[in-house]
Structure 1
Amino acid sequence: MTVAFKQQSIDRLQESLVHVQRLIERQRQLEQQAARPEAGAADDAPLQQNLLELRQRLAQLHPADIAHILEALPLEDRLLAWDLTEGEREGAVLLEVSDAVRESLIEVMDPDELVAALVELDADELAELAPDLPRQVVYEAMGRLDEEERGQLQAVLSYEDDRVGALMDFELVKIRADVSCEVVLRYLRRFDELPRQTDKIFVIDDAGCLKGVLSVRKLLVSDPEAEVADVMATEVVSFQPDEAAVDAAQAFERYDLVSAPVVDRRGMLLGRLTVDAMVDVIREESDSEVLNLAGLKEEEDLFASVMDSVKNRWSWLAINLCTAFFASRVIGAFEHSIAQLVALAALMPIVAGIGGNSGNQTITMIVRALAMGQMQLGQAGRLWRKELGVSIINGMVWGSVIGVIAWLLYGSVSLGLVMLAAMTLNLMLAATMGVMIPTLMQKLGKDPALGSSVLITACTDSGGFLIFLGLATLFLL
């Protein structure tokens, strides 16, 4: 996809969002007019015409685009657009929207409507929605599946959401190794269409064990008389259903995979993973890291109620309040020093601010390395020594700059030297905590990103104030 085409797609989506918002706004105005006592029956015609235009506009959009629009609308407008979405497309839209928005849509759907929306979904897609659906709806939807699909759904639901087994796709093409390429081509022509993301065909034996894969590109250029066993690849990147989905996503990125087999410990082919599912995993993992760094519990609906947003944010704000109070007590302990040398009050935020920024740089790098599997816990000491070296150099350079500025502003060389020392020491503290916090979280089995930004800021603020004011008290007063 070229940059120009991607930009055109974004522009079209934005245009669709604006158009839908205008139609909804007009709908609200027409409803107000129709509700007036003097309004007659004729006033209902424009309202119905606007509804029809809105319905038609939504019908022209891809389910993913409808999902984007629903996420960008306030709850009342979202529900209006959702009511006008075609019933047979509701299941596909539910798959695309964020968890928070999906919850708001499911809440307003009755069980029969939910079951009808799930009819068009495959077993693996139904499994993706199952945790958010009422249990009775899941049972009823399962009852409409055939025996094979029901078994597939139960297999997927037996795994945790973050496991490979929960993301398996059962639509795949299987062949035997003892047939010719011509036979395979004739077999493929019997399909109305191949499953999505079919870049390879899976070769199995009579027991269903995976023996290799045959690339579709390889098949097309091979001698039709050649046996599959002679042209298939036997070195295959495969996954087991209990492996972490994040690890599988990283493998997809590393090896540029489009699809890959999922096998059990005996080598039996269970299903496959596809790149679209792995892209979703990578995006969700990235979103989760951003939210955790900021101290948010979960992804939040942009237009959620005030209380829902408060519940999502309060815990780390409470922690931040405690750390801020501790920092204020550090300052309070040096009230006498600040009263004697007012310049300290003006300069100490600089030391804390630079330390916080440096610490966030370090902690972001370490969290990313842990998430990507590039760093093992045993390497923490080596990385700490490296970050310590970086912080010393940065501290000396920028501490000298701010030290000279302090000297010029307040006419005190000693104050400038204290600024240099405090800056360097606080950056060293930031480097130490930037490595320590995420690695300690990892050792405790927590997400390394969880509240890291809040914690590093607390350490560099309190530490920066203590270091700067302590040095000033010792050497300037």
Structure 2
Amino acid sequence: MDAFHSIALLYPEIKELLRDRNYTLLKQVMRDSNPIEFADCWKRFDEDERLQIFRLLPARSALKLFEILDIGDQQYLLSRLGEESITPLLENVSSPELVKVFHKMSPRQVNKMKSLIKRQEAVSHINLMMKFPERTVGSLMHPEFVKLEPRMTARQVLQLMQAIVKPGQKEHLYGLFVTDGEGKVLGSITLQDLLAAPEDETLAVIMSSVEGIKLTPDGGQDAAARLFSKYNLTTAPVVDTEGRLLGILTAKDIISVVRQEATEDIAKMVGTRAVEIDERSVFRIVGFRMPWLVVTLVAGVFISVIIRAFEPVLSRIIALASFSPILAGMGGNVGSQSATIVVRSLALGQINGHRKGRTIFREMRVGFLLGLIYGVLIGIIAYVIYGDRYHLVFSVVVGVSMCVSMTTAATMGAIGPIVLDRMGADPATATAPMITTLTDILTILTYFSLATLLLMAL
């Protein structure tokens, strides 16, 4: 049996053991299981069961599980576990993981947690990281790092690493940084560099330049992710304004950030929240989705008012009603396509400055060309179906409306995220509902306005 699936398959038995309080057998199951398996099934257990499972796990497994759980689950465990269970966690969990949780807690709760940490150096690191807001490099960096001097030899560094690096600090092996007497970063080396170099070679000779890859603690995580991607980094130094090394950022940290933000962006683009993925309460899910659906409902009512204003036109050419859903749907689709591309380009840093105007113009041309193609197609279809009842102008109205709708939608799909980004808001915020709603309104207005002109021509 695949170990990955074992906990999922044993879920009913584990529930029964918890219900019967058969902790002896349950501990055996815990000891033979990978904590990652419990993380995969974590949401299937209720809160009390999760607490019992965590308490029964071996210390190392509990630590591993804690580090891979969501922040909400981590916060819940810290609030419910006793001090005898919390202290080992706080002593061994990495500073970035703790800071993520502490940012979600009240100052009083944070102070209580810090009072349980015996190592003052760890408390100092946490205090340093807590100075920086969430989603900044400073709140994500590892303040613990190995201090190396340029005069040290490859053999000395390898001996030092063997002596001080613990199993839980493997990120230090991926990249090391050389500093001068003032703590300013001079260069970087990797484990491969050390192993390949002669034993007596100094770091001053081995090290590589770090120009262009230094990060500042108040910098955004998005910019850091782009830097890691551009230079294919495994680690990067975080420095203060004078170039002194404050900590290191690892690729593992960035991957976690990118994954989290991608999930959040997808959720925001459809007008909900990322936490809905793991949410089990139907009522909470409804609460997440309601705000933008209310906006959509109001817009729908407004569209109904517009259609009512054109009721005389619609009563004379009832065929107009058969094409309005097609026009609105095509406009909404092309608008969502443009918005998705622009949001992703903004996230990757590919749109900035003068490129924003060019991007909007490009999407407008794309929308016009698509509108022209589909406008001709829908115009022909309209003529085939209604050519014997209405003048050729009817088909032209449908075709032109399609072209205008898709051009407008693509343009708005590009402008919306760029404007939100310029205002300092998340470009992904409800992009799809917003673009679709505005496109529907403009499409219906254009369609029936042209239809009014049609009546004048007939």
Same fold (TM over 0.5): yes
Contact 1:173 1:201 in 2 (8 A): yes
Aligned to 1:470: 449
| Aligned equivalent of 1:460, options 417, 439, 454 | 439
Aligned to 2:196: 221
CA shift at 1:113, angstroms? 4.6
Amino acid at match of 1:294: V
Q: Deviations over 1:84-111 (max 9, x none)?
A: 5446644543332234444555565456
CA shift at 1:158, angstroms? 1.0
Q: Which deviates more, 457-466 or 397-406? A: 397-406
Aligned to 1:71: 43
CA shift at 1:356, angstroms? 0.2
Aligned to 1:404: 380
CA shift at 1:128, angstroms? 2.3
- For residues 140 and 76 of structure 1, the distance between their equivalents in structure 2, rounded to whole angstroms, comes to 23
Question: Do residues 96 (structure 1) and 73 (structure 2) align?
Answer: no
- For residues 454 and 47 of structure 2, the distance between their equivalents in structure 1, rounded to whole angstroms, comes to 60
Q: Which deviates more, 418-427 or 309-318? A: 309-318
Amino acid at match of 1:167: L
Change (3 A) 1:419 1:71: same
- For residues 81 and 215 of structure 1, the distance between their equivalents in structure 2, rounded to whole angstroms, comes to 40
CA shift at 1:318, angstroms? 2.1
Question: Do residues 384 (structure 1) and 384 (structure 2) align?
Answer: no
Contact 1:88 1:120 in 2 (8 A): no
Aligned to 1:196: 170
Change (3 A) 1:307 1:192: same
Contact 2:228 2:251 in 1 (8 A): yes
- For residues 64 and 445 of structure 2, the distance between their equivalents in structure 1, rounded to whole angstroms, comes to 56
Change (3 A) 1:24 1:134: farther
* SS state at 2:439 partner: helix
Q: Which deviates more, 52-61 or 313-322? A: 52-61
| Aligned equivalent of 2:122, options 122, 145, 149 | 149
Percent identity between matched residues is 28
- For residues 27 and 399 of structure 2, the distance between their equivalents in structure 1, rounded to whole angstroms, comes to 65
Aligned to 1:121: 93
Aligned to 1:248: 224
Aligned to 1:277: 253
Contact 1:296 1:313 in 2 (8 A): yes
CA shift at 1:361, angstroms? 0.4
* SS state at 1:196 partner: helix
Q: Which deviates more, 313-322 or 15-24? A: 15-24
Q: Which deviates more, 257-266 or 379-388? A: 379-388
- Structure 1 unmatched runs, 5+: 1-7, 32-46
Aligned to 1:16: 6
Q: Deviations over 1:139-181 (max 9, x none)?
A: 3442323222111111011111111111111333222111222
Contact 1:165 1:241 in 2 (8 A): yes
Runs of at least 4 residues of structure 1 off by over 6 A?
none
Q: Deviations over 1:10-35 (max 9, x none)?
A: x753x23531433246558xx5xxxx
Q: Deviations over 1:162-203 (max 9, x none)?
A: 111111113332221112222223323324646322222211
- For residues 434 and 25 of structure 2, the distance between their equivalents in structure 1, rounded to whole angstroms, comes to 51
- For residues 287 and 379 of structure 1, the distance between their equivalents in structure 2, rounded to whole angstroms, comes to 26
- For residues 333 and 288 of structure 1, the distance between their equivalents in structure 2, rounded to whole angstroms, comes to 40
- Structure 2 unmatched runs, 5+: none
**Count of aligned pairs between the two proteins:** 449
Change (3 A) 1:424 1:101: farther
Aligned to 1:164: 137
TM-score by length of 2: 0.89
Amino acid at match of 1:123: S
Aligned to 1:425: 404
Change (3 A) 1:414 1:99: farther
CA shift at 1:421, angstroms? 0.5
- For residues 270 and 171 of structure 1, the distance between their equivalents in structure 2, rounded to whole angstroms, comes to 9
Change (3 A) 1:416 1:408: same
CA shift at 1:302, angstroms? 3.0
Question: Do residues 435 (structure 1) and 411 (structure 2) align?
Answer: no
Q: Which deviates more, 355-364 or 438-447? A: 438-447
| Aligned equivalent of 2:181, options 203, 206, 220 | 206
Contact 1:331 1:465 in 2 (8 A): yes
- For residues 73 and 205 of structure 1, the distance between their equivalents in structure 2, rounded to whole angstroms, comes to 52
Q: CA RMSD in A?
A: 2.7
